[in-house]
Amino acid sequence: MSDMLTPLKRVRGLGSAKEGTDHFWRIRITSIALIPLALFMVGWMLSLRGAGYAEVRASLSQPLIALAAALFIVISLDHMRLGMQVIIEDYVHGEGGKLVLLILNTFFAVAVGVVSIFALLKLAFGG
């Protein structure tokens, strides 16, 4: 297997990180999962056109709607984080800056997810 490494990678000890395929498939699977979820969420929002706060809350109190919204939030944020990770890894060349941006990317996705799920739960279960 060492014959597959370039001389520079052999000197640095860098080989395959063994994560590329997993990352590739996670992006594809989240994309596929987002198609029906996005269509469902757009249809749900269009059905609430002109509705007031009480109607939106009543709709979100239905388990199917709340679960679909939560799945949409979680999967879209994971998809966003994975996509931004690829962009950061491809276009940021300094290792320190790359590491900081990758950490901030993860923190941002988690923070938006926590706030979004909290708002969803607050709407669905009262408040």
Residue closest to 65 by CA, chosen among 31, 28, 40: 40
Q: In sequence order, what E strands does the chain have?
A: none
Question: What pLDDT, in 10s, does the model give residues 62-91?
Answer: 999 999 999 999 999 999 999 999 999 999
Directed axis angle between helix 63-91 and helix 20-47, to 10°?
Answer: 140
Residues sharing a CB contact under 8 Å with residue 40, sequence separation 6 or more, in sequence order: 68, 72
pLDDT at 21 over 90: no
Directed axis angle between helix 95-125 and helix 63-91, to 10°?
Answer: 170
Residue with more model confidence, 98 or 8? 98
Q: How many domains does the chain have?
A: 1
pLDDT cut 70: percent of the chain above it: 84
Q: How confident is the model at residue 18 (pLDDT cuts 50, 70, 90)?
A: low
DSSP 3: G
Q: What is the pTM of this model?
A: 0.82
Tell me the two tokens of residue 86.
């690829």
CATH of the domain at 76: 1.20.1300.10
Containing structural domain, residue 18: 2-125
